[in-house]
Structure formats: C-alpha cells, structure tokens
Amino acid sequence: MCGIAGVLDPTGTRSPDALAHIAQTMAATLGHRGPDDGGVWADPSGRIALGFRRLAVVDPGATGAQPMRSPGGRYVAVFNGEVYGYERLREKLDTVDRVRWRGHSDTEVLLAAVDRWGVRGALSRSNAMLALAVWDSTTHTLTLARDRLGEKPLYYGRADGLLIFGSELKALRALPSFDTAIDDQALAQYLRHTFVPHPRTIFRSARMMPPGSLLEVRTSDAGAATCPDPERWWDLGDVAADGIADRREPLAGDAVDELDELLRDSVALRRVADVLAECEGSVVGVLDERGAIAPGGDQRRA
C-alpha cells in the first residue's frame, strides 16, 4: 500500500526541523500501510516537509526509497501506488532525453516524467493507481493528485495555519490543533449511504481529493482561508463521449480478440513486482517479467 503525508507552511516561520517532526508524526500513524521503511524530507527554506511509509514491492532497495528527488533535481515527491508498465514509460523518456537512472523503481520513472512533461503531462502518460504529492522547488508549488478512478485515497485540510495532507484521516488527526468537529452534512450522507461521498469527510476541516483530480497550491496562496478547488486532469465522462464519437463496427471475432489482448496485457502489467507477498505469513518470491515466480531473489515474510 504505502502511505504519504506532508505539511505546507505558507508563513515560513517554522524551522525545517519543526516541519520534519510534524511530517514524521503524521507518517507514523500510517505504519500499517508501509511496514518496511519510512522517510522524511524537509525543504531547507522551511516551507514544506514530506513523510512516507513504505511497503517495498518494486525496487525494494535504497534506490526506491522515498521521499525522492527527480533526476533533474527540481521536484521532490512522495508517491503511494504503482505505475503499471513503467518500463515502457522509461523507454519513452530515454528516447526523448537520456536519463541517468539511479535504480529501477516506478517512482523514479514517474518523477523523471514530471521533470520532462510536468505533473499533468506525467499523469496523462502514466497507466497508474496513485496518490501523489509533488513539491516544485522552482515555483514553490505543492501539487496533490489522485488516480483516474480513485483507487488510492488522499485527504487534505488545515490546522494551525498549515496545509496538511495524508493517505488517511488519522494522519491529519495526528496534529493536536486539527479540528475534529463533525460535518453534519457528511454525517447525514453517511447515515443515508453508509459512506461519505467525496469531497466531504466526516470532519468539517478536511476534504478528500476526488478521483482524477489534482490540487495546486503555491506558498503565496496557501495562507488563504480556503484552499483552491481541485481540478480534473481526467474525466470518465469525456472518455465515454470520445468513445461514442469514435465508434467502430468491428467484426465480432476481431472485437473478442482485441478485448482478450487488452485483458491479458492488463493482468500481466499488474503481476510485475520484485517482491510478491501472500497472506498468512507465507514466504514470498520474485516475479519475472512474465509474472512467474522466479527462483531465489529477495525472499521475506509478508
């Protein structure tokens, strides 16, 4: 799973160490999401700190650790999720501009894509489930983003003049100053639907990022009473409309074959990992590019 958390201080009055402590405290609540490793990064300017808890699946060594800086050095990010077929994206990047890779994680490839095309361009070129936080050290902008269909959760809110975010609400609650007042409308929605529809959460001071959306916050704007609204970077309705406009009339056999190929490719992409964990504490092994368990490799217990 992995878990991400972070804090943005628009005033710049807190020290990097103080912000790092806040991010560390928030990330510590997400240990169940990432039992293998953790990390914290604070910008020397004292504006932002990012925290991370890791479930090491792809590139489980040090070269896959987060928070991670982009190859060009401009961006720092924490990333929960997986970029499917990231090797294809890596090859595409190498054809555009030869990248000096440190390892083979999908996080590094995604950050290289951000370096090359920006956050929106990288998202649109990625086949991924993700919750992402990217700090642009040039424009002093924090971007929060969520995958197309919202497989990975991401919450954000305010506390004591800070913009805070995390993979779960408990990360936001880790701050003593976080307002835990219940949102009455969210409670009514929960009683009616047995869940709280986004963007509301059970707390008035927190929101959930909608699927397929991103939120850009500059430090100059982060001190406003309310955050800017998230923007759609992908919309299912637009995709459906494009499909209807481009409707084809394939032969029945061709349609079946095309669907079969797409499903096989989709399943294969989701079986690629350096470490495969199974339930009940069974021994895990390494998957090869075909999704088969390879002998040897890095073995551990789930």
Q: What is the pLDDT of residue 110?
A: 96
Q: What is the pLDDT of residue 225?
A: 58
The 3-class SS string of the chain reads CCEEEEEECCCCCCCHHHHHHHHHHHHHCCCCCCECEEEEEECCCCCEEEEEEECCCCCCCHHHCCCEECCCCCEEEEEEEEEECHHHHHHHHHHHCCCCCCCCCHHHHHHHHHHHHHHHHHHHCCEEEEEEEEEECCCCEEEEEECCCCCCCCEEEEECCEEEEECCHHHHHCCCCCCCCECHHHHHHHHHHCCCCCCECCECCEEECCCCEEEEEECCCCCCCCCCCCEECCCHHHHHHHHHHCCCCCCHHHHHHHHHHHHHHHHHHCCCCCCECCCCCCECEEECCCCCEECCCCCCEC
Give residue for tokens 């639907």: 193
Q: What is the pLDDT of residue 222?
A: 61
Q: What is the pLDDT of residue 186?
A: 96
Q: Which parts of the chain register pLDDT below 70?
A: 222-226, 250-252, 273-302
Q: What is the pLDDT of residue 156?
A: 96
Q: What is the pLDDT of residue 205?
A: 94
Q: Hey, is 198 helix, strand or coil?
A: coil
Read off the pTM: 0.86
Q: What is the pLDDT of residue 243?
A: 81
Q: What is the pLDDT of residue 276?
A: 53
Q: Which residues are 301's β-sheet partners? A: 283
- All structural domains of the chain, each given as residue ranges with its CATH number in brackets, are 3-237 (3.60.20.10), 248-294 (no CATH)
